[in-house]
Structure 1
Amino acid sequence: MTDDEFPPLHFAGPDGVPTGFAVELARAVCERLTVTCTVQARRFDTLLDALADKQGDVVAAAVPLTPGLRARFLATRPYFRWPARFIARKDRNLPAPSATALAGRNVGIVEGSAHEAYLKAFFPNATRKTFTDLSAAQSALKRGEVEYLFADGLSLALWLNGQEAEGCCTYSGGDYLENRYFGEGIGFVTRTEDAALARALDDALQRVWDDGKYAELYLRFFPISPF
């Protein structure tokens, strides 16, 4: 089971059939397990209850791996994590982010986000400029009102590759993956009584990684890598 409104991880294709990185990875895993799998699209907020009610066997969607989730269900190892990234205007030739390099520099951030908390903790001398949402922060960076923007790498990848950015900006520095701030990522979710299925999914995920299918799917759905 998946949701069809969260590209590029899961969305409805031109023919209405669910696709996306998580969905196609699930199909690849089914092939490695030599089982026939049917993908059902459901409203995102109903997925876990539907799994508990045995309306499906696996959830392949962007459901965060949290202690609360693990208390109710089993999950595979993460197959995607939410990286945090800095982006900057291409024409500014700014240094790669570090605690020293960002001292006194303006950094756009979404107010109240995990990214703001991380910036406060590890880049304390940066000058934070908060915005109510990511779109406002992106617009400010594009106009040159801030020097950097620190936010979710996947959302930034979609913006950088879209028309709205107009090629203004690019990633600066590497990715940040601290679980304490940005979570464990996402994995395939099963019921607690289906431990054998969870183990089989983990094994198939490893095979998909080893034979290069993971990389193939990743490059198909992420033209600008968030990592």
Structure 2
Amino acid sequence: MTQLRRAGGRYLAAFALAVALFAPATGAMAQTAPAGGAPNASPPAPAPAAKAAPPASVVVPGFWDPKRRPDRPDVTRLPTQIRFVTTEDYPPFSFRGEDGRPVGFNVDVARAICTELAIRCTLEIVPFEALADALASGKADAAIAGIAITPVTRETLDFSDRYFRSPARFVALRGDGGAKVTPDALGSKTVGVIGGTAHEAFLHDFFGEIAVRAFPDPDALRAALRKGEVDLIFGDGVQLALWLNGTGSENCCAFVGGPFTESLYFGEGMGIAVKRGNDALRQSLNYALAQLWEEGVYTDLYLRWFPISVY
């Protein structure tokens, strides 16, 4: 089995829940039945007509080269439906909403892809460690679950083009960040980081003059910053953005410097995984993702789930 690694986060066990994403013939959401419940209509997927201009404070990353346009897929080579699998433990990418249904950025991207391809889709929640087996056994066609694209995962899985990358970021107390975040500028600072992570290794390799203080978990790390025990903290940009945008931070802090996206430390980003050799589906996913960016759908979905700029 493929040794999976989550891009920018850990994973927990989950329970299976199959959900129909939509019926493309009418453009309406399909009737779906949660486990033990009656059918309910899922909320409609957004379908903006033109690319939305992001707020000035939010940078929306683009991963698609306008000079490289994937070919329109041959629909006769596609299955009658795409069976997606994801997890429930990776907010804001995939988790359960208040009604128990899967929601999140990945869920919305999958729904938008299927709308773009005009094909029926289903989504099933499985444990993260079961994703590769679901693809290999033919129980699923595509996994959109934050699987890190690495040399190891590429040995047994193929991936769509990258559709997201979580950068590393520094965070400081408001007013204490300073204008520059460089090895020289931070030479006298103490920076907190979660121990044993790629973020800690990056600090030691590129910010050798600073005092690095390791913490066991995010809560201890963030508490140290608020207490003034460290001058800055360094970690995954998405998780830090969620904290900054939540009530727990009490508006104490803000991003400074960055972003840092060195692949050797922080990975190539997220792609949609498919079974090795399934080029027809992979190329169709690439086409749909490029179209979502061109049409502004990706921008709208990004702004929905990342109101504080990760970049």
Q: Same fold (TM over 0.5)?
A: yes
Does 2:244 align with 1:160?
yes
Cα root mean square deviation, aligned: 1.1
1:56 counterpart letter in structure 2: A
- Unaligned ranges ≥5, structure 1: none
Determine the structure 1 residue equivalent to 2:26.
Answer: none
Does 2:249 align with 1:181?
no
Determine the structure 1 residue equivalent to 2:97.
Answer: 13
Does 2:217 align with 1:149?
no
Larger Cα Rg: Structure 1 or Structure 2?
2
- Unaligned ranges ≥5, structure 2: 1-84
- Within 5 Å, give how 1:31-180 maps onto structure 2: 31-180=115-264
* Alpha-carbon offset, residue 51 of structure 1: 1.3
Spell out structure 1 runs of 4+ moving beyond 3 A. Answer: none
* Counterpart Cα distance in 1 of 2:158 and 2:99: 32
Aligned pair count?
Answer: 227
1:205 counterpart letter in structure 2: L
The 1:223/1:145 distance shift into structure 2, 3 A limit, reads: same
Structure showing the higher helix proportion among its residues: 1
Determine the structure 2 residue equivalent to 1:3.
Answer: 87
1:182 counterpart letter in structure 2: F
Q: TM-score, normalised by structure 2?
A: 0.71
The counterpart of 2:110, out of the listed 9, 18, 26, is 26
* Counterpart Cα distance in 1 of 2:111 and 2:248: 32
Preserved contact between residue 171 and residue 253 of structure 2 (Cα < 8 Å): yes
Preserved contact between residue 177 and residue 256 of structure 2 (Cα < 8 Å): no
SS at match of 1:61: coil
Q: Percent identity?
A: 42
What do the CA deviations read for 1:124-145 (whole angstroms, capped 9, x no partner)? 1111111122221111001111
* Alpha-carbon offset, residue 94 of structure 1: 2.5
* Alpha-carbon offset, residue 93 of structure 1: 4.9
* Counterpart Cα distance in 2 of 1:29 and 1:93: 40
1:152 counterpart letter in structure 2: D
* Alpha-carbon offset, residue 96 of structure 1: 2.7
* Counterpart Cα distance in 2 of 1:72 and 1:92: 46
* Counterpart Cα distance in 1 of 2:203 and 2:256: 15
